[in-house]
């Protein structure tokens, strides 16, 4: 099942995400469902609780609960610059919301500006997920797209390298564009995948920038395992 979608980063959405409330995107798997008295339901409830406690201190958590065929696997993570308290708020919001949005789907994923939350009845941990994916872009165009695209690629490729060389699999940074103008970017992977898979994942999505973000002042490519983003204003806490 290919889950693929396009999103528009409007100013309104941007404001909303700054204040943290609404999800950027979500996907419910339609291949398998469960009912309220299914053992999967109670395993999933336990899993959500475990991830809520486990994730904020490190900004990352994985786990599984139960036995096959009712076993539930989950992953939660927060953006690298997000503090534990804000991470907890986001994970709490995400687990509540995903449960509302996909109440009977065995697999689901939800993305916020500050965090990601995912679960499934198959073991997805440690594998690159580029099936769950979306794009966002700033609607404003730059005046010199060729040079700008090149700079964007340059910054994000550097950050991808840095991210896969750190234990947190996260890097943020900036690049001087011209006098008093800067480009800001971030690159991050979920910590269940290896450093080399992180690098592979990030290089893959950098290659997709032309599909969403050609000549755009800002853009993001987000998957279940890695994401990149850039803007011409500082959009993360350094």
Ligand X SMILES: *[C@@H]1O[C@H](CO)[C@@H](O)[C@H](O)[C@H]1NC(C)=O
Smaller CB distance to ligand X: residue 159 or 201? 201
Q: Contact between 5 and ligand X (CB under 6 A)?
A: no
Binding letters toward ligand X, positions 6-45, x by CB under 6 A: ---------------------x-xxxxx------------
Nearer to ligand X, 33 or 194 (CB): 33
Tell me how far apart the 2 most distant CA atoms of the chain are, in Å. 62
Under the binding rule (CB under 6 A), the answer on residue 225 touching ligand X is no
CA distances from 106 to 33, 75, 236 (A): 5, 14, 33
Q: Decide if 65 contacts 72 (C-beta within 8 A).
A: yes
Q: Which is nearer to ligand X, 52 or 117 (CB)?
A: 117
CB closer to ligand X out of 30 and 58: 30
Piece in contact with ligand X (CB under 6 A), picked from 12-20, 104-112, 152-160, 178-186: 104-112
Tell which residue, 235, 218, 103, 229, has the closest CA to residue 170: 229
Taking the complex as a whole, the smallest distance from the CB of residue 15 to ligand X amounts, in Å, to 17
Contact 163, 198 (CB under 8 A): yes
Mind giving me the DSSP string for 196-218? HHHHHHHHHHHTTHHHHHTTBS-
Q: Does 165 bind ligand X (CB under 6 A)?
A: no
The single residue among 51, 65, 108, 221 that binds ligand X, judged by CB under 6 A, is 108
Residue 193 as a binder of ligand X (CB under 6 A): the answer is no
Q: Is 95 in the site for ligand X (CB under 6 A)?
A: no
Q: Which is nearer to ligand X, 1 or 8 (CB)?
A: 1
Specify the DSSP element, H or E, that contains 195. Answer: helix 195-206
Look at strands 132-137 and 3-6 and give their pairing.
Answer: parallel
Looking only at residues 109 through 148 of this chain, which bind ligand X when binding is defined by CB under 6 A?
109, 120, 122, 131-132, 139-141
- Smallest gap, in angstroms, from Cβ of residue 2 to ligand X? 9
Closer to ligand X at the Cβ: 32 or 97? 32
Give the distance from CA 65 to its chain's centroid.
23
Can you tell me the distance from the alpha carbon of 171 to that of 159, in angstroms, rounded to the nearest whole number?
6
DSSP-derived secondary structure for 32-52: -B--TTSHHHHHHHHHHHHHH
Residues binding ligand X (CB under 6 A): 1, 27, 29-33, 104, 107-109, 120, 122, 131-132, 139-141
């Amino acid at each position: 099942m290919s889950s693929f979608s396009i999103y528009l980063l409007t100013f309104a959405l941007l404001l909303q995400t700054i204040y943290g409330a609404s999800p950027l995107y979500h996907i419910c798997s339609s291949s398998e469902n469960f009912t309220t008295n299914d053992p999967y339901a109670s395993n999933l409830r336990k899993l959500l609780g475990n991830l809520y406690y486990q994730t904020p201190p490190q900004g990352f958590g994985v786990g599984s609960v139960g036995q096959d065929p009712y076993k539930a696997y989950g992953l939660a993570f927060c953006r690298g610059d997000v503090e534990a308290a804000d991470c907890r708020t986001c994970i709490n919001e995400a687990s509540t919301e995903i449960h509302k949005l996909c109440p009977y789907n065995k697999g689901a994923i939800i993305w916020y500006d500050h965090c990601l939350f995912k679960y499934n009845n198959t073991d997805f941990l440690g594998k690159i997920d580029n099936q769950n994916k979306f794009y966002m872009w700033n609607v404003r165009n730059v005046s010199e797209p060729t040079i700008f695209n090149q700079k964007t690629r340059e910054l994000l490729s550097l950050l991808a390298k840095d991210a896969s060389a750190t234990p947190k699999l996260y890097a943020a940074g900036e690049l001087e564009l011209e006098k008093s103008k800067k480009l800001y970017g971030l690159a991050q992977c979920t910590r269940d995948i290896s450093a080399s898979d992180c690098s592979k994942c990030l290089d893959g999505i950098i290659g997709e920038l032309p599909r969403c973000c050609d000549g755009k002042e800002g853009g993001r490519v987000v998957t279940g395992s890695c994401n990149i983003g850039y803007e011409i204003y500082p959009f993360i806490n350094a």
